[in-house]
A and B are shown apart, each in its own frame.
Chain A
C-alpha cells in the first residue's frame, strides 16, 4: 500500500511565478490536509479537503493561495505570484474515509522562491 505521495519534492520559483504542489493520498483515503512549515517553525494548518469539497480553509492566506481536490487525480495547492516569504516546506496528510483515524504525512514539497 503506497504511502502519501507528493511532487515535486523540490520546487524553485522566481518571485511572481506560480507554484503548483500535488498530493496523492494513500489508497482508500479521501481526506487531505495541507500544512506549511516555515524554516525553524512548527507545522501550521492551511486547508482541509475531501473529494471535490473544501471543508475548512481557515488557515489559508486569503490571497494568492488556492487548493482543490478533484474527483479524479491528486489534490493541488496553488500559489500565485509567489513571494520570498512563501519559501517553506509544504506537507500534505491523508486520512481514511471515516475521518477519524491517523493523519499520515507525505514527504513534502520544499518550495524556494528566489
Chain B
C-alpha cells in the first residue's frame, strides 16, 4: 500500500517563501508529482521528480530524496493567487497516482 503525509494547512505572507513537506511510502517508485488545485477546479501539474535532488521551475522548486521517502515543494515570492491546495502524489508500481489529502496554503496580504 501507499502512505502519504503532508501538513493539512499552512499560512504564509505575500512575497515570502514557503516549503511544503511530504513523506511517503510506496510499493515501487517511479517518481513523485506535485499538483496545485484551486477550490472547485482540476489539479494542475507543477513538477515531477524521478531522481534525487532539486528541480527548479520559475518560482516553484521541488526536491526529492528517494532513500528517505521525502519530498518538498518550495514556493518563492508568494502571490495571492498561490492560495490553493498542493497535492503530493508518488507514483508507485501501479500506473495510477495516489494522492494525499493535500496541503491547503493560504497566502495573506
**75-100 of chain A: CB within 8 A of chain B:** 91, 93, 95, 99-100
Known: A104-B45, A107-B41. A41 touches B101 (CB 8 A): yes
Question: When A56-B94, A102-B33 are in contact, do A43 and B99 touch as well, CB less than 8 Å?
Answer: yes
Prevailing SS type, chain B contact patch: loop
A-B contact count (CB 8 A): 51
Interface residues on A, range: 20 to 34
Contact A91–B100 (Cβ < 8 Å)? no
Residues of A within 8 A of B19 (CB): none
Contact B95 A33 (CB under 8 A): yes
A93 to B33, CA, bound (A): 14
Interface residues of A (CB under 8 A from B): 31, 33, 35, 41-45, 48, 55-56, 58-59, 91, 93, 95, 99-100, 102-108
Extra 11 A-B pairs, beta carbons < 8 Å, given A42-B101, A45-B97: A33-B95, A42-B87, A42-B100, A43-B43, A43-B99, A44-B99, A45-B96, A58-B94, A59-B96, A103-B45, A104-B45
24 contacts between A and B (CB under 8 A): A31-B95, A33-B96, A33-B97, A35-B99, A42-B87, A42-B99, A42-B100, A42-B101, A43-B99, A44-B99, A56-B94, A56-B95, A91-B43, A95-B95, A99-B95, A103-B33, A103-B97, A105-B42, A105-B43, A105-B44, A106-B42, A107-B41, A107-B42, A108-B42
